[in-house]
Structure formats: structure tokens, C-alpha cells
Amino acid sequence: MLYSSDATGLSRRRLLTGLGGLGAATVLAGCTPTVEPSPSDGGSSASGATPPSGSTPSTTPTPTPPPVPELPGGGTTLFPDRRMVALYGTPGTGSLGVLGEQDVDEALTRVADLAKEYQQYSEEPVIPAFEVIATVASSAGGPTGDYTTPVDPDRLAVWVEAAGKADTYVVLDLQPGTQDFPTQAASFESLLRQPHVGLALDPEWRLQPGQRHMEQIGQVSAAEINETTAWLAELVAEHRLPEKLVILHQFRTQMIPDRAAVKPREGLALMVHADGNGSAEQKLETWRSLKKDLPSGTHLGWKNFIDEDAPTFTPERTMTEVTPQPWFVSYQ
């Protein structure tokens, strides 16, 4: 397998039910003589009115829908209520990033410690996160012939479940080869239904027919991104989930050539993530380029490469030299 490092608060509905069957009747005593009913009139009064039964019809209250589950750190919207620091990679191998250098429990401890290092430089709470490669770009055709190989779903589920218990956010990263992003995203629906799981699209690994990884840098259209996010936003609405993070990895403008046409979606927080490695000036130049003409409402993220950057930015440097401060920092 190949992988290149270049790569509102809770809203609850209150349903009010009125009092049903409540009327008013005025009896004027002494104004009209009473008439005793005869056996032939069935017990009716002279006026023909039926005496009240003494009971009031009841109404069944509409059940209140369950509250929207909260995100790690609380609340149901991601930003600006928190920042995130993440380990990037895939379980079981350290060759694709630091996340896979240890088992899940050790990774949770490692990322929690890293988030604490960032807290002194952020006014917002810093939440630990995992960015897990769920489909890995491959040199061979793979099971579908699309040069992409999915990670064992059971292995992913173990990490997602453990992260949820540890108040840690999870982003599933897709490297689709010649397969499309909507198809790959839908294959992880069961995990994406969980409130602490978001999605990352990695255009570097989105190939056209005849292309191969490491020979060409992939790209994706805004139309394909919009199709993916429309499906995900519908999932959020259908299952009453908190806001989900959607990361768009990018280090060259041609990776998303019509980025201005990417649509915002209710229930999703879109982010462009600066995914290049190199010297400090190279990385900062990439950052300056990517934040130009950024679609309104889009957040920015940053990646630190432990082995490939020269040097790797410290937490202090990441949060003081990278402006505006990134909302999501990942480590590969």
C-alpha cells in the first residue's frame, strides 16, 4: 500500500398541548320554569339539550423527541466552541502515520497529552481526536479494482467505540482511488451514524481512469464533494445527530479546481486542511495560498509531519505563526 504525506447549543422542541374539551355553559336559575321530562321524550329536557356527562375529553400529548446527542466536550455544534488536535494514520501500522504506532488505549493517552500541550495557546477547549484512514490508496487494484483497500470494519469499530468512551472525536479519512467519494462514504454509514464521527475527503488519492498513485496527484470536483456532503447532511438530519466535521485535504489548488462551488450544508462544518510537508516557509506559503478565496463559513486545519517536516512545528509555533489559528491540527 502506498501513502504520500503530501498530501448551537442543544436545541429542543417544546410542544405545547392545550386543554381540550373545555367549554362554558351558563344556567340561569329562576328565569325559566323547569319542565319535568316525560317518558316519551327519552329523558330530554324541554330545550332538547343533552345533560353533560360530567367527564371532560382528554388529549394525548405529542411525545417530545429525544435530545440531540452531544459532541466530545459538550454541545451540538463544533466551532467555535472547541479546537481539535489529532493523531493521523490507520490502526495496525505505523508506516501510514503516528496513530498506528501503538494500540488504541495508548493512542488515546498520547493524543490526550498532546491536546493538553495545545491548551495553553487556545482560548477554546482543545479536544483530542483521531483521523483514521478508512480506505487506503494502494498500488494494486485492490478488492474492487479501484486501487483502494478498505480497512477491516471490525478494527475501525474498536477504535471508534473506544474514542467515544474517552470523549475523543473521530474523522474517517477516504483515499478512494478510481472509486468515487459518495460510494466510499456510504459504505461507512453505520460508523457515521455515531455522533462523534466525521468524514475527511483526500483528493490526492482520487484518481481518474488510467491514472496511478504516485504517478499523478488526484483531484475531485466540487460536484462530487457536494454529492457526498448532501448525503451526509441528510444522515445527520434523519438521525438527529450533532454537527459533523467534513475535512477537505488540499495542498495544491488544482486538487479541488472549482473549490468556490463547494456548498455549505446544514448540520456540517466544512474545513480545508493544509496537507503539505516541507520546510517552514514552504508550509506557510501553502497555508497562505489555500486560505485565499476560502468559501464563506469554511474553517482551516493544519498538519504537522513528524518525519517529513524540517523542522516539525511545536505546539507554540503552530498556534502563533499559523494565522488564523487552525481549528484542527493533525500529526502524521
At 134-182, the pLDDT tens digits run: 999 999 999 999 999 999 999 999 999 999 999 999 999 999 999 999 9
pLDDT band at 38 (very low <50, low <70, confident <90, very high): very low
Backbone angles phi, psi at 257, to 5 degrees: -65, -30
Cβ(90)–Cβ(96) below 8 Å: yes
79 inside domain: no
Lowest mean per-residue pLDDT among 28-32, 61-65, 70-74, 149-153: 28-32
**Of residues 42 and 288, more confidently modeled:** 288
User: How many CA atoms lie within 13 Å of 250's alpha carbon, on the beta-carbon side?
Assistant: 29
d(CA 158, CA 165) in angstroms, rounded, equals 11
Give the pLDDT confidence of 185-218 residue by residue, as tens digits.
999 999 999 999 999 999 999 999 999 999 999 9
Q: Is the pLDDT of residue 62 over 90?
A: no
Nearest to 195 by CA among 254, 158, 228, 239: 239
Q: Is the pLDDT of residue 239 over 50?
A: yes
d(CA 247, CA 306) in angstroms, rounded, equals 21
pLDDT of residue 20: 32
d(CA 67, CA 216) in angstroms, rounded, equals 47
Q: Is the pLDDT of residue 52 over 70?
A: no
64 inside domain: no
Q: What is the 3-state secondary structure (H, E, C) of 188-233?
A: CHHHHCCCCEEEEECHHHECCCCCCECCECCCCCHHHHHHHHHHHH
188 inside domain: yes
What global pTM score does this model have? 0.81
Q: Which long-range contacts (CB under 8 A, 24 or more apart) does 14-21 make?
A: 14/64, 15/61, 15/62, 15/64, 17/59, 17/61, 17/62, 18/59, 20/56, 20/57, 20/58, 20/59, 21/56, 21/57, 21/58, 21/59
277 inside domain: yes
pLDDT band at 64 (very low <50, low <70, confident <90, very high): confident
List of residues 6+ apart from 47 with CB closer than 8 A: none
Q: Please, what is the end-to-end C-alpha distance for the chain in angstroms?
A: 16
Q: Is the pLDDT of residue 25 over 70?
A: no
Q: How far is CA 113 from the centre of its chain?
A: 23
Number of domains in the chain: 1
**Mean pLDDT, rounded, for 104-111:** 98
**Mean pLDDT, rounded, for 29-43:** 38
The residue whose grid cell reads 483514521 is 132
Nearest to 129 by CA among 87, 74, 73, 75: 87
pLDDT band at 63 (very low <50, low <70, confident <90, very high): confident
pLDDT of residue 75: 97
C-alpha angle 301-306-310 in degrees, rounded to nearest 5: 95
d(CA 179, CA 184) in angstroms, rounded, equals 7
pLDDT of residue 56: 56
196 is in which domain, residue-wise? Answer: 89-331
**Of residues 28 and 227, more confidently modeled:** 227
pLDDT of residue 10: 28
40 inside domain: no
List of residues 6+ apart from 184 with CB closer than 8 A: 134, 135, 148, 174, 176
C-alpha angle 119-123-125 in degrees, rounded to nearest 5: 55
Lowest mean per-residue pLDDT among 56-60, 127-131, 217-221: 56-60
83 inside domain: no
96 inside domain: yes
134 inside domain: yes
The grid cell for 225 is: 464533494
The CATH number covering residue 145 comes to: 3.20.20
Look over the chain and give the mean of its residue pLDDT values, rounded to a whole number: 86
**Of residues 13 and 65, more confidently modeled:** 65
**Of residues 29 and 108, more confidently modeled:** 108
